[in-house]
Amino acid sequence: MPPKFGGGEKCAICNKTVYAAERIEAGDKPYHKLCFKCSECKMSLNLNNYAQSEGVLYCKKHFSEIVTAKNTQTPVV
Ligand SMILES: [Zn+2]
Ligand SMILES: [Zn+2]
């Protein structure tokens, strides 16, 4: 699929158009506010408490449980 310009940005989670009123941006990607939640517990996140790894969103708790635990052999950057 070629990228479309002028057609509005697509949510990185659900791939539907994001309008300004419902837009949240993290890591250079746009999201719907409603899609911006932990992939594990579905807790709603905001820019102050989210964590992200390889495009997947987590709350701080699940980020440390899943991502940090997985990377124990390499220092976290
Ligand atoms: Zn979305
Ligand atoms: Zn969580």
pTM of the complete model: 0.78
Give the residue, 76 or 50, on which the prediction is more confident: 50
Nearest bound ligand to CA 66?
Answer: 2
CA 58 to chain centre: 7
| 5-41 per-position pLDDT tens digit | 556 899 999 999 999 999 999 988 999 999 999 999 9
Give the closest ligand to the alpha carbon of residue 22. Answer: 1
CA of 75 to the centre of ligand 1 (A): 32
Residues with CB in 5 Å of ion ligand 2: 38, 40-41, 59, 62
Tell me, in angstroms, the distance from the centre of ligand 1 to residue 27's CA. 15
Question: Out of 3.20.10.10, 3.30.70.260, 2.10.110.10, 3.90.1560.10, which CATH number does the structure's domain 37-77 have?
Answer: 2.10.110.10
Length of the chain counted residue by residue: 77
Express each pLDDT in 36-71 by its tens digit. Answer: 999 999 999 999 999 999 889 999 999 999 988 887
Looking at domain 7-36, what is its CATH homologous superfamily?
Cysteine Rich Protein (2.10.110.10)
The pLDDT score that the predictor gives to residue 55 is: 86
